[in-house]
Structure 1
């Protein structure tokens, strides 16, 4: 099964315009992400999908594969679907373009399960260790059933703890692995009720009866949301081991 990793890279971030071109230890963020993904063993091809000529030129400069996509996509999944319509592939994995510390082993874990579960979307979770993250609405939580299929994603703490016993909470990592047909189906669906309430597009799949399998990993995501996050990533980058 041919597996394509697509990195959506939008220029017009409200909190951090031009974010993919921000320098981290002298290299642009999009190059850091691209090289991380490229080193995953189970990826056949990596493509940056962007709406901006400067990002396009930067990816070409460091020798990466890049495609110009429309500038009116509402989500990264929509941008990935445009790429999937134009190239051959069986599995398309959405890699966030603002996570320069994405770990290749996490990508391989997800792709490995995707090849065994061609009827499901695959994503990942990591145990929340910081209690503040449990109540932080920017940290999306996930719960799943015994079959590893997600039951719900929420910005609120789930499950609700009524007793004092220890309860583990898990952060959803924004990485998705789609079988091509499910990706094509997904972008044709109207926004769902719960999706609009929580502002989480993955709920559209659940509301329409699709399975999202969730793997647990130890590789936490460290995203860049604002310029101040660059220093934090630079400090962590030196500790990365393949």
Structure 2
């Protein structure tokens, strides 16, 4: 099974301008993410897919591989789907460019989905973890996911889901970790799927599969994620990096 990791790296960012080029321990965020994915040793190839020369140069300066993609896309999966068309791979992982703390255990668990007896039934898999900080449940920057008894995604939302109606009841909240594992055929089909009203409203690319009647297998990881979307996030990331 040939597996590759593609890291979509768009330069523009509305919430935190040029966030992928912000310094994290002496190197840009995108370089730290690339190095973390490469260090897992799980992939036959690792590429950064970008629309900007600054990002490309930063990756090439550390010996990394870059695919240039200057067209405008709605989301990262659209961007890497275009790049993946010419690659010889069975499984392609989409690792967001702002995941410098991505861990080997989580990525290995995603790849393992496609080695199990039920693998033929799965085209897309992604990660989730239990939210342990109450303030994160209501944070719209943290995407929540609910699943069925087989860990198939039912819905993703920036709102707190599930809604607990009775005050005495309790619920487990899962946060979506922005990493996807695709069969190449499923990834290449992604841009052909129409963007539905729910994806447009939530701005969550995973919803496109659900609105099209397809399934996403969710894999629970015990390791939480620090994505970088705000100034507070980058400050938190820098503090954590200083401890490593």
Whether 2:29 is the aligned partner of 1:15: answer no
1:57-206, aligned counterparts within 5 Å? 57-116=57-116, 117-118=119-120, 119-163=122-166, 164-206=168-210
Provide the residue aligned with 2:219 in structure 1. 215
Whether 2:52 is the aligned partner of 1:35: answer no
Structure 1 residues 156 and 230 mapped into 2: Cα distance closer, same or farther (>3 Å)?
A: closer
Q: Give the C-alpha shift of residue 231 in structure 1.
A: 2.8
Query: What is the TM-score normalised by the length of structure 2?
Result: 0.92
Q: For residues 71 and 19 of structure 2, what CA distance do their matches in structure 1 show?
A: 16
Provide the residue aligned with 1:49 in structure 2. 49
Contact 1:150 1:213 in 2 (8 A): yes
- Pairwise CA RMSD of aligned residues? 1.6
| 3-state SS of 1:132 partner | helix
Q: For residues 207 and 85 of structure 2, what CA distance do their matches in structure 1 show?
A: 23
Q: For residues 194 and 170 of structure 2, what CA distance do their matches in structure 1 show?
A: 39
Q: Give the C-alpha shift of residue 88 in structure 1.
A: 1.0
Q: Give the C-alpha shift of residue 42 in structure 1.
A: 2.4
Contact 2:127 2:218 in 1 (8 A): yes
Query: What is the TM-score normalised by the length of structure 1?
Result: 0.93
1:201-238 per-position Cα deviation (integer Å, ceiling 9, x unaligned): 21111122211011111111102223443332122124
Contact 1:42 1:112 in 2 (8 A): no
| 3-state SS of 1:209 partner | coil
- In structure 2, list runs of 5 or more residues that go unmatched: none
Q: Give the C-alpha shift of residue 66 in structure 1.
A: 0.6
1:168-213 per-position Cα deviation (integer Å, ceiling 9, x unaligned): 1111111111111111111101111221232222111112221101
- In structure 1, list runs of 5 or more residues that go unmatched: none
Q: Give the C-alpha shift of residue 161 in structure 1.
A: 1.3
